[in-house]
Amino acid sequence: MPNPHLHMELEMTTTLRIEHAISDYDTWKTAFDRDPANRKRSGVRRYSICRPVDDPEYVMLDLDFDTMSEAEAMLTRLHEIWQSPAAAPALAGTPQTRIIETVETTEV
């Protein structure tokens, strides 16, 4: 039986959180999978993609890095990519971004 008071010890993770409207998920995902920012070489350790259950034309991404400087460099690169309709064909509006650090994760 899991201990409800167990706190997971984590290595400090810096996350670039991105949220934005899209015009079509399949088009957006194809562009994301082309990986024009070269996530692995840019230091991304893992990523997750989420969508609100009531809005299929909105995505939320978390890109996890070991360092703040890697996250900041990726954000700079993404701003360049987002300027190109060819590189970001399904982007609708201006992405909202924030660099965050995980301070606690607990299983209950």
Closest CA to 75 of 42, 41, 34: 42
Structural contact between residues 65 and 71, judged by C-beta atoms closer than 8 angstroms: yes
Domain count, the chain: 1
**Is residue 3 in some structural domain?**
no
Give the predicted TM-score (pTM) of the model.
0.85
Which domain range does residue 34 map to?
14-101
Tell me what pLDDT residue 2 has: 54
**Is residue 49 in some structural domain?**
yes
**Is residue 5 in some structural domain?**
no
User: Among all chains, which residue has been given the structure tokens 């971004």?
Assistant: 97
pLDDT surpassing 60 at residue 3: no
**Is residue 4 in some structural domain?**
no
Task: Determine the average pLDDT of the residues in 55-63.
Answer: 97
Task: Determine the average pLDDT of the residues in 2-10.
Answer: 51
Which one-letter DSSP state was computed for residue 45? -
pLDDT surpassing 90 at residue 68: yes
